[in-house]
């Protein structure tokens, strides 16, 4: 019989060997002919399956809402400084992307992990938040530099409204909202932020769409797919900031001395 030489790479998401590329077995022509969108492409390449319209729409809303948040946030600031140092598009983009992490934009996976664990173990928001405090861990998905109880994040509201209308269940989101209600009793800016809203709602999508097994959900949350949504989304804005700085022919950035506390 034939002997199959062992391969150096195993790949399961796409195939370019035929007449046209296939994403998770779906030919490109079918994606285009059916008028599918970027949410469908993400479903195929990340989750290896077609998801119902409300799920792909939710993914697209996450991408649109997180595409940019002005020039002052960590990512855009780095990208702007890099572009002004005369660097190319890719350098400017990755310079911004490298700021995405536990404090900025990259708290979605941890929010999903902690909210899921606390919800599934039946912890009250008090038990959950105080337990985290004891461990010295900030609650991922809670807190914001400029948003607060009286100036809530509109993006969170938009995600919640969409999910309440289209999702079969929003139990994880409701839990995150209860956590927010408790954290707001501690400080005004401990609101549910956009990372927390996406993390909790993606749990609802995974758990209630009927499209994923329990084992698959654990794998997705364990590996941490969800920060990918912010990385992908914010790349749109960071690329925009790079073009903006080049278009404006902005000179090399130097931070003003007056804005530094020089001290011993």
Residue 226 within binding range of ligand ACO, rule CB under 6 A: no
Residue 154 within binding range of ligand LMR, rule CB under 6 A: no
- 222 token code pair: 């364990």
Residues 172-211, mask of contacts with ligand LMR (x by CB under 6 A)? ----------------------x-----------------
Residue carrying the six token digits 């009250």: 124
Minimal distance, residue 222 CB to ligand ACO, in Å: 19
In the region spanning residues 166 to 225, those forming contacts with ligand ACO, defined by CB under 6 A, are 187, 189-190, 193-196
Adjacency order of strands within the sheet including 14-15: 14-15, 22-23, 26-27
Largest Cα–Cα separation, the chain = 77
Minimal distance, residue 70 CB to ligand LMR, in Å: 7
- What is the 3-state secondary structure of 30-42? HHHHCCCCHHHHH
From the list 10-18, 137-145, 167-175, 203-211, the region that binds ligand ACO by CB under 6 A is 137-145
CA distance linking residue 170 with residue 175, whole number of Å: 9
* Cα 44–chain centre separation: 17
CA distance linking residue 204 with residue 11, whole number of Å: 28
- 264 token code pair: 């011993």
Minimal distance, residue 115 CB to ligand LMR, in Å: 18
Residue 146 within binding range of ligand LMR, rule CB under 6 A: yes
Residue 143 contacts which entry, ligand LMR, ligand ACO, none (Cβ below 5-8 A, type-dependent): ligand ACO
Position of minimal CB gap to ligand LMR: 69
CA distance linking residue 77 with residue 70, whole number of Å: 9
CA distances from 234 to 103, 106, 228, 239, 240 (A): 15, 11, 10, 9, 10
| Interface residue with ligand LMR, options 39, 42, 56, 69 (CB under 6 A) | 69
| Interface residue with ligand ACO, options 46, 54, 104, 162 (CB under 6 A) | 104
Residue 73 within binding range of ligand LMR, rule CB under 6 A: yes
Are 172 and 115 spatial neighbours (Cβ–Cβ below 8 Å)?
yes
Residue 98 within binding range of ligand LMR, rule CB under 6 A: no
Minimal distance, residue 172 CB to ligand LMR, in Å: 20
Q: Which residues bind ligand ACO (CB under 6 A)?
A: 102-105, 107, 138-145, 187, 189-190, 193-196
């Amino acid at each position: 019989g034939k002997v199959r030489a062992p391969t150096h790479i195993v790949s399961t998401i796409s195939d370019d060997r035929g007449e046209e590329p296939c994403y998770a077995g779906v030919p490109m022509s079918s994606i285009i002919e059916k008028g599918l969108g970027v949410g469908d492409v993400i479903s195929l390449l990340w989750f290896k399956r077609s998801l119902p319209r409300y799920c792909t729409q939710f993914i697209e809303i996450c991408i649109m809402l997180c595409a940019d948040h002005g020039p002052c946030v960590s990512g855009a600031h780095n990208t702007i400084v890099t572009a002004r140092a005369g660097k190319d598009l890719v350098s400017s983009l990755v310079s911004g992307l490298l700021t995405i992490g536990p404090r900025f934009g990259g708290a979605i996976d941890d929010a999903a992990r902690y909210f899921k664990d606390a919800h599934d173990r039946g912890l009250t928001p008090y038990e959950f938040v105080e337990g985290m405090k004891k461990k010295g861990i900030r609650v991922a998905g809670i807190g914001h530099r400029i948003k607060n109880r009286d100036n809530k994040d509109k993006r969170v509201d938009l995600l919640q409204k969409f999910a309440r209308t289209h999702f079969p269940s929003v139990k994880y989101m409701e839990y995150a909202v209860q956590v927010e209600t408790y954290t707001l009793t501690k400080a005004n800016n401990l609101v549910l932020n956009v990372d927390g809203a996406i993390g909790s709602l993606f749990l609802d999508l995974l758990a209630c769409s009927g499209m994923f097994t329990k084992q698959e959900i654990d794998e997705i949350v364990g590996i941490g797919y969800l920060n990918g949504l912010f990385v992908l989304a914010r790349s749109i804005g960071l690329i925009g900031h790079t073009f903006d700085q080049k278009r404006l022919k902005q000179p090399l950035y130097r931070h003003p001395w007056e804005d530094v506390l020089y001290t011993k």
